[in-house]
Amino acid sequence: MASNRIGRINEEIQRELADQLRRLKDPRVAQVGMVSITRVDTTGDLRYARVYISVLDKTQEKDVLKGLKSAAGFLRRELGRALQLRYTPELQFIPDDSILHGAHILEVLRQVEEKDAAQQDGAPAEEE
């Protein structure tokens, strides 16, 4: 039962932080193409929340994380106002490359599919 509660809290934190990111004025975050919150993991005692961040332009990822760490206090206060929890968790921002990893897997699968299609057509498969 407690895990359901934490799961709902994680979803609410993710939704509220995504909304707050759009309003954040820090140029390290606001001027980047796309910043996504992929996942939130909150501890059982609600003291800490790990917020996994994915940035479309990987060259700006460090700057975005610095900007988010700088704005963590503000984001935490706004999160506390919105969610009205007894205790608002301390936010820890962690880079997440799962989207990039997923894109790589899709590319590998596409290459395998093309190779199989070429073999079925009778043409010799290209070696990598």
Which residues neighbour 73 within 8 Å (Cβ) at sequence distance 6 or greater?
A: none
* Tokens standing for residue 3: 């895990």
Same domain, 53 and 64: yes
Same domain, 55 and 106: no
- What residue numbers bound the domain in which 57 lies? 2-96
Same domain, 70 and 126: no
- Cα 114 from Cα 117, distance rounded (Å): 5
Total domain count, the chain? 2
Looking at the predicted structure, is the pLDDT value of residue 60 above 90?
no
Q: How many CB atoms lie within 10 A of CB 67?
A: 21
- Pick from 23, 34, 27, 2: which is nearest to 82 by CA? 23
CATH of the domain at 74: 3.30.300.20
Same domain, 72 and 88: yes
Reported as a single tens digit per residue, the pLDDT across 79-97 is 999 988 888 999 999 998 8
Same domain, 92 and 102: no
Average per-residue pLDDT for the chain: 87
The three-state secondary structure class of 125 is: coil
Reported as a single tens digit per residue, the pLDDT across 101-124 is 888 899 999 999 999 888 888 755
Same domain, 59 and 8: yes
Longest distance between any two alpha carbons in the chain, whole Å: 67
Same domain, 11 and 51: yes
Same domain, 117 and 56: no
Same domain, 101 and 90: no
Same domain, 21 and 81: yes
Q: How many CB atoms lie within 10 A of CB 47?
A: 11
Which residues neighbour 60 within 8 Å (Cβ) at sequence distance 6 or greater?
A: 28, 32
Residues 26-51, mean pLDDT to the nearest whole number:
88
Same domain, 43 and 53: yes
**Sign for the pseudo-dihedral over CA of 92, 38, 102, 26:** negative
